[in-house]
Amino acid sequence: MPMESEDSDVNHIDSSELSSTSSTVSSILSSSDVDLSSNFSITSSSSGEILPVPLKLAGEDGDATRRLRKCVGRSKGVAWGFKSVIGRRKEMEDAVAVVPGFMSRTCDHVGGCTTPGSRTSVEISPIHFFAVYDGHGGSQVAKFCAERMHEVIAEEWDQEANEEFKWQQRWEEVMSSSFERADNEVITEAAAPEIVGSTAVTVVLSRCQIIVSNCGDSRAVLCRGTETIPLTVDQKPDRADELLRIEELDGKVINWNGARVFGVLAMSRAIGDRYLRPWIIPVPEITFTTRTNEDECLIIASDGLWDVMSNNDVGEVARRILRRGRRCVGAGEVTAAQTLADSLTEIAVGRNSSDNISVIVVDLKSKKTNRITDDGK
């Protein structure tokens, strides 16, 4: 379910695992933190909740679902919310994709199961997809990725795998080939001119793993207990390893309002930007994080947020708002995840972010009263 930045409609998933609600801009911060005026157009927002409905075991009857050992995310719901605003830019170039259940696989098949060989590890369960794409030179590549990237990843996963690959190696191969394929399709389908490109930060969320792939300077972080853990590293032209790679290819990084490849692009990897090959490449950096019971939320955002807020700033706001919101949210109300996405966006605007701002919040601890237990009650 890609969320086009210019569409203000609330998106609904017709599924037993997702109940979606509309949202409005709301802030639980003081007025000194927020200064939203009519100059800043709210272009899209949405929220929803993915409930932990037990699915049929692969090759088993439903009675076999009961087991003491279980995958980390089996009995946890996942709520999400996002906000995307144009900010002080003249054009909206960000795009957001939220695709609950973009694949359905067993945890053993996905890999990295915390209870391999258990009954829950062979339950067929939905795998969720979240992504932020920050375009530059135009919005075409970002929009194309929002509509297509998750489909390409699912198609690549269904390809026959090298039997010698471990599960991480298989995901690395899938994500690398998916980013390359999406990059090629931008050209073959004439989706955008060669001077247009986009960052891409994607999250694949299974019951036991958080798999993040990143090209560019959008970012994903995990709030775990009192920690804020970066799941990506910004790919900037002056990052030591990226600078070396570019210079070995006879490229130049010029300081022109910040480090830029040939004084033009302020990142070293992206989808598109064919006119800057081979220095700008669509090769993602991929991280694997095993889920724990201490995980609070994922925050995925374009640099319109990170330019004015540090990882730790965002983590502190997230913990405060989510914990308060989970206690207060009732049936039919805005989710705590949506409240957090709204609030982070408002803070970024209030701190004079000069870019488009897109924020996805994935709440990894759903409200207990909204959960469906393992027996479906």
Q: Tell how far CA 67 is from the center of its chain.
A: 31
pLDDT, greater one: 260 or 2: 260
Domain 2-370, CATH number (from 3.60.20.10, 1.10.3720.10, 2.60.60.20, 3.60.40.10): 3.60.40.10
Task: State the pTM of this model.
Answer: 0.84
Residues paired with residue 289 on neighbouring β-strands, in sequence order: 210
Q: What are 176-195's pLDDT values in tens digits?
A: 999 999 999 999 999 999 99
Query: 312-340: per-residue pLDDT in tens?
Result: 999 999 999 998 887 766 656 788 999 99
Q: How far is CA 177 from CA 87, 116, 219, 284, in A?
A: 33, 27, 21, 10
Span 47-61, mean pLDDT?
A: 55
> Region 129-148: what's the mean pLDDT?
98
State the average pLDDT for the chain. 83
Which one, of 79, 150, 85, lies nearest residue 297 by Cα? 79
Domain boundaries defined on the chain: 2-370
Sheet holding 357-363, edge to edge: 18-21, 42-50, 78-85, 357-363, 295-301, 219-224, 227-230
Paired strand residues for 214: 201, 285
**Distance of alpha carbon 282 from alpha carbon 149, whole angstroms:** 13
The number of CA neighbours under 13 Å toward the Cβ of 363 is: 31
Contact status, residue 297 vs residue 322, Cβ threshold 8 Å: yes
Pair 344, 305: CB distance under 8 Å: yes
| 375 secondary structure, DSSP code | T
Res 114: pLDDT: 92
